[in-house]
Amino acid sequence: MSWALIPLTEEQRAMQESARDFALAEIAPHSDRWDRESVFDRSIVGKMGALGFLGMLIPEAYDGLGLDTCTYLVALEEIAAVDASVAVLMSVHNSLPTQMILRYGSEEQKQKYLRPMARGEYLGAFALSEPDAGSDAASLRTQAVRDGDHYVLTGVKAWVTSGAHADVILAMARTDSPNDRKGARGISTFIITPDMPGFSVGKKEDKMGLRGSETNQLVFDELRVPVANRLGQEGMGFVYAMQSLDNGRLGIAAQSIGIARAALEHSVRYAAERKQFGKPIKEFQAVQFKLADMATRVAASRALLYAAASAKDRGQPITQFGSMSKLMASETAMWVTTEAIQIFGGYGYVKEYPVEKLFRDAKVTEIYEGTSEIQRIVIARELYARS
Ligand code: CAA
């Protein structure tokens, strides 16, 4: 699908090509099996790391590629157009845990965790949600109690992308006392590794889509975390998580656009090949109108995303534009994949054709990293904050 609206630099074009080639060679041949069998293939992490795809936003001084946000999103869309499961791993790792350590971590934490994460040797995860704390993230209950030079964490984190396979998990837990709750300001962030005593992986979710990406609960049973592994200041964990989600939502928008674009491309091809009433169905205005609306929504979503990413790279706050981009792109992905199935008809409803998977993969983009309803709340709040 045409990128004509977005003037890519030579570096961005090269990165786009490299991500596309990688996705076609290393992901496409396995994607259907990963989906069917619900398997996460860890080897993809090493392969992506070797090409720098897991350190795109990390400065070269910490072994990353030191690229701008737009270039990262261009690559992410290419991966998502082939397999959204791999794209979510890439988005979470690049946007959340690595950015949190880069922005708020100590030099020691950067040397110890960020460097190998940039090289793709350590996979990162982000653990904010809990079974009873989803949209209302500040109501999380995992408790961290200081014990000498450690914190002892007890609780269950939920919906953690790559949770069972992550080497470094950025987890939010309460450091306020149960007798003196401080709301969002009573939460801190910890860098957790699976070898810490008291850590275990809980349930693996059996999902509708993104079945090549593993989503787990993580159980902290008196998990002992050194004080040196607290990120930044005590009590600032919720703010760190929210600031990071501003960026994470750009990644999910790029993932959504990749899914929508793939559905559009399949639909354009199919409508030219499929004949009914003696001619290709692309000759019918009913199908043309669908394709036109699908292409328009993909182009508009991408234009908004790149405007938001450019604003971020210019140092502007992007809370509102991040939410707008994620809202528009994820609803576009759901709408475009629904229309794609309609164009494919019965063939769209069976696993033999690709749009059924795209439809299932699209749905979660309206849910994770903040539901569409939460994005609308954030957007509306910002309208009043500015006025
Ligand atoms: N940037 C910086 N600070 C922010 C912020 C932002 N974007 N958003 C909030 N804050 C600050 C506020 O300024 C406030 O600070 P003060 O104490 O100084 O006032 C503090 O954080 C609390 O903010 P709110 O009062 O706005 O908090 P709230 O409880 O009303 O919640 C919310 C706001 C927007 C609803 C938030 O809870 C939210 O985004 N919920 C959705 C959670 C979410 O996206 N979860 C996704 C989890 S990750 C995932 O999906 C799994 C995965 O692996 C992909």
How high is the pLDDT of residue 3? 75
* Model confidence pLDDT, tens digit, residues 159-188: 999 999 999 999 999 999 999 999 999 999
- Give percent above pLDDT 70 in the chain: 99
All structural domains of the chain with their residue ranges = 10-118, 124-235, 239-386
* Model confidence pLDDT, tens digit, residues 113-135: 999 999 999 999 999 999 999 99
What residue type is assigned to position 367 of the chain?
I
In terms of Cβ atoms closer than 10 Å to its own Cβ (0-12, 13-18, 19+), residue 321 is buried
> Of the CATH numbers 3.40.50.720, 3.90.1640.30, 1.10.540.10, 2.30.30.40, which one belongs to the domain with range 10-118?
1.10.540.10
CA of 246 to the centre of ligand 1 (A): 9
Pocket test for ligand 1, best of 128, 234, 242 (most atoms within 8 A of CB): 242
Q: Is the pLDDT of residue 280 over 90?
A: yes
Predicted model pTM? 0.97
Catalytic residue, candidates 214, 234, 339, 369: 369
Q: Is the pLDDT of residue 299 over 80?
A: yes
240 Cβ inside 6 Å of ligand 1: no
Fold of the 124-235 domain: Butyryl-CoA Dehydrogenase, subunit A; domain 2 (2.40.110)
How high is the pLDDT of residue 4? 76
Residue with tokens 């910490």: 62
Q: Is the pLDDT of residue 266 over 70?
A: yes
Average pLDDT, the chain: 97
Band (260; pLDDT cuts 50, 70, 90):
very high
Fold of the 239-386 domain: Butyryl-CoA Dehydrogenase, subunit A; domain 3 (1.20.140)
Q: Is the pLDDT of residue 387 over 70?
A: no
How high is the pLDDT of residue 142? 98
Q: Nearest 5°: phi and psi at 314?
A: -85, 0
Band (23; pLDDT cuts 50, 70, 90):
very high
Q: Is the pLDDT of residue 336 over 80?
A: yes
